[in-house]
C-alpha cells in the first residue's frame, strides 16, 4: 500500500489536505500548489475560509495569487467541513499548540483534530503532524487513537512527525529551501513521509523516529531561548555598568569561529520560542528530571517587559514626570520586524504593565491595525498615524518592534523621550543624547 501512495506522490496525483490555515499551513499549501498538487485546506475559522475564497490574504507578507488561480481551477478547496477528511491521501496537521495559564502544554487542538481524522481514517492515508509538541506526542497520543480504528500503522495507514520551520518575513529562506526533518512511527511510515516532503522541499532530513523529530524542533528553539536569555541578562548588567551591549556584540561577532551573535530585546514573541521550552520542561517531569537551564532562561526572558517598564519609569522620573497619567506611545506590536504576526508579542505584556501603573497607551504599527483580543488581553486599541503632533503630544515613545518603515530620525526629532529596546537608534545617540534611553 505504501508503494501505491509513494507512486501517486511522485506522479503528483496525490490529494493533499492541510489542517490549519495559518502561518504554517498557508505557505505549505502554496508550495504543494506550486508543484501541481490538488490541495484541500481545512480550518474551523469560517472567516479564513471566506477570505481565501475571495483571494484576500489575512497574512500580509503572503501573496495569494497562486491560491486564487488554483481556487478558480478547483485545485484548491478551502473548507470548514471536516467530513471531507477522508478525501485527501495525505493529511498535514498544522494547528496551534499553546500553553495553559499554568504553562502546561495545551494539546486540545491536536487532540480534537486527531479525533476527527480517526473518525474518517481510511486505508492508504498518510497523516503528518507538524505542530510543535513534546517528544512522544505522535506515538503516545495519535498512534493509539488511529489504531483503535482497527487499521495498522505502517501497513494500512502512515503516521509521521515533521516539525514546521516557518520564519515569517525571512527573506533568505522559504518553505522550499528550508530543510525538512521527517520521522515516522515505522520504517514504512518514514519512507512515505520522505516521499511526500521530497516532492516539495529541496532537502529532507530523515531521522529514526517521531520522538527524535519532535525533540529536534524543541532543541532548535531552546537553543535560541537560552542564548537570548544570556544576552538579555547581560543587557541588564551592561546597563548598570554603562556599557553598550550592542557594540560589544558587534565587536565579538568579528571573531570568525566559536561565536554566534544573539541580540537582546523587550522579551520573546512568536508562537515558538516563548512556548516550546515549556513543553520539554513539562515532559521532563515524567522522568524525574528538572530542566533548570531551560526554566532559568524562561524566567529571564519573561522578565524583560518589566525591565523595559522600569526604564520607562526612570526616564520619566528624570524629566520630573510620573508614569501614572503619562501618555506612552508604543512603536511596533508585532513580535518581529516587518511582519503582522503579533502572537505572544512582548508589546502586549509591556502595554499591560504600563496600564496597570496608570499610563495612557497609544500605539502605531504599520502591520497591525488593531490589537487583537486574546485570553489574557483585550485592549481595544487601534493604530494611530505616526505624525509630528502624535509624537510631540506624548510623554515617551517606546520602540518595541524595529520595523524598517519607521524613520527613526523623525521619531527622535519630535518625541520628548525615546526608549529603544532594539538598538534602532544606533548612530543617532550623538544628536539626540538627551532623549534616547536604551532598554
pLDDT of residue 379: 87
How many residues are there in the chain? 439
Q: Which residues of the chain have pLDDT under 70?
A: 270-272, 374-375
Taking every pair of Cα atoms in the chain, the longest distance, rounded to a whole number of angstroms, is 75
How many angstroms separate the CA atoms of 309 and 267, rounded? 12
Residue ranges of the alpha helices (H) in 11-156? 25-34, 46-53, 65-72, 108-118, 137, 143-147
Q: Do residues 41 and 21 touch, judged by C-beta distance below 8 A? A: yes
Q: Do residues 351 and 330 touch, judged by C-beta distance below 8 A? A: yes
pLDDT of residue 375: 64
How much is the CA Rg of the chain, to the nearest whole Å?
24
Residue 412 is among the residues annotated as catalytic for this protein = no
Q: How many helices (H) and strands (E) does the chain have?
A: 16, 13
pLDDT of residue 56: 86
CB-count burial class (<10 Å; 0-12, 13-18, 19+) for 197: buried
pLDDT of residue 168: 77
How many angstroms separate the CA atoms of 416 and 394, rounded? 8
The CB density around residue 434, as the number of other CB atoms within 10 Å, is 10
**Which domains are seen in the chain, by residue range?**
2-206 (3.40.50.720), 209-302 (3.40.50.720), 303-439 (3.40.50.720)
Q: Which three cell numbers stand for residue 96?
A: 496551534
Nearest by Cα to 382 from 369, 392, 373:
369
The CB density around residue 177, as the number of other CB atoms within 10 Å, is 11
Q: Which of 90, 94, 238, 272 is catalytic?
A: 272
How many angstroms separate the CA atoms of 435 and 414, rounded? 10
Q: Do residues 414 and 396 touch, judged by C-beta distance below 8 A? A: no
Q: Which three cell numbers stand for residue 228?
A: 537570548
pTM of the model: 0.91
Q: Give 99's DSSP letter.
A: B
Amino acid at each position: 500500500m505504501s508503494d501505491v501512495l509513494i507512486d501517486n506522490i511522485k506522479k503528483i496525483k496525490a490529494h493533499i489536505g492541510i489542517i490549519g490555515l495559518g502561518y504554517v499551513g498557508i505557505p505549505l499549501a502554496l508550495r504543494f500548489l506550486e508543484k501541481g498538487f490538488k490541495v484541500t485546506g481545512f480550518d474551523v475559522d469560517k472567516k479564513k475560509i471566506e477570505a481565501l475564497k475571495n483571494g484576500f490574504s489575512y497574512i500580509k507578507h503572503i501573496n495569494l495569487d497562486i491560491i486564487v488561480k488554483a481556487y478558480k481551477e478547483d485545485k484548491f478547496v478551502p473548507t470548514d467541513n471536516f467530513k471531507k477528511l477522508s478525501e485527501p491521501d495525505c493529511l498535514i496537521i498544522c494547528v496551534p499548540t499553546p500553553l495553559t495559564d499554568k504553562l502546561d502544554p495545551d494539546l486540545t487542538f491536536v487532540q480534537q483534530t486527531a479525533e476527527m481524522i480517526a473518525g474518517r481514517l481510511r486505508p492508504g492515508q498518510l497523516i503528518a503532524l507538524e505542530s510543535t509538541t513534546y517528544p512522544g506526542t505522535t506515538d503516545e497520543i495519535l498512534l493509539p487513537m488511529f489504531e483503535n480504528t482497527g487499521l495498522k500503522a505502517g501497513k494500512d495507514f502512515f503516521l509521521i512527525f515533521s516539525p514546521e520551520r516557518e520564519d515569517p518575513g525571512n527573506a533568505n529562506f522559504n518553505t522550499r529551501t528550508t530543510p525538512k526533518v521527517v520521522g515516522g512511527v515505522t520504517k514504512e511510515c518514514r519512507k512515505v513521509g520522505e516521499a511526500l516532503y521530497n516532492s516539495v522541499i529541496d532537502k529532507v532530513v530523515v531521522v529514526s523516529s517521531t520522538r527524535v523529530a519532535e525533540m529536534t524542533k524543541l532543541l532548535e528553539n531552546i537553543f535560541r531561548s537560552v542564548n537570548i536569555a544570556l544576552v538579555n541578562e547581560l543587557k541588564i548588567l551592561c546597563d548598570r555598568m554603562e556599557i553598550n551591549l550592542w557594540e560589544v556584540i558587534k565587536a565579538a561577532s568579528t571573531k570568525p569561529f566559536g561565536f554566534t551573535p544573539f541580540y537582546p530585546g523587550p522579551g520573546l514573541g512568536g508562537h515558538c520560542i516563548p512556548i516550546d521550552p515549556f513543553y520539554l520542561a513539562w515532559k521532563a517531569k515524567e522522568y524525574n528530571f528538572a530542566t533548570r537551564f531551560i526554566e532559568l532562561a524562561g524566567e529571564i526572558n519573561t522578565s524583560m517587559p518589566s525591565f523595559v517598564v522600569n526604564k520607562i519609569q526612570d526616564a520619566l522620573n528624570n524629566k520630573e514626570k510620573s508614569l501614572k497619567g503619562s501618555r506612552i506611545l508604543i512603536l511596533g506590536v508585532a513580535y518581529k520586524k516587518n511582519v503582522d504576526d503579533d502572537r505572544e508579542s512582548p508589546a502586549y505584556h509591556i502595554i499591560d504593565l504600563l496600564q496597570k501603573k496608570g499610563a495612557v497607551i497609544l500605539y502605531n504599527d504599520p502591520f497591525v491595525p488593531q490589537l487583537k483580543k486574546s485570553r489574557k488581553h483585550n485592549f481595544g486599541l487601534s493604530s494611530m498615524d505616526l505624525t509630528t503632533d502624535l509624537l510631540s503630544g506624548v510623554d515617551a515613545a517606546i520602540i518595541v518592534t524595529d520595523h524598517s518603515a519607521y524613520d527613526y530620525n523623525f521619531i527622535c526629532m519630535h518625541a520628548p523621550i525615546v526608549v529603544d529596546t532594539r538598538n534602532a537608534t544606533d548612530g543617532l545617540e550623538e544628536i539626540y543624547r538627551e532623549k534616547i534611553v536604551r532598554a
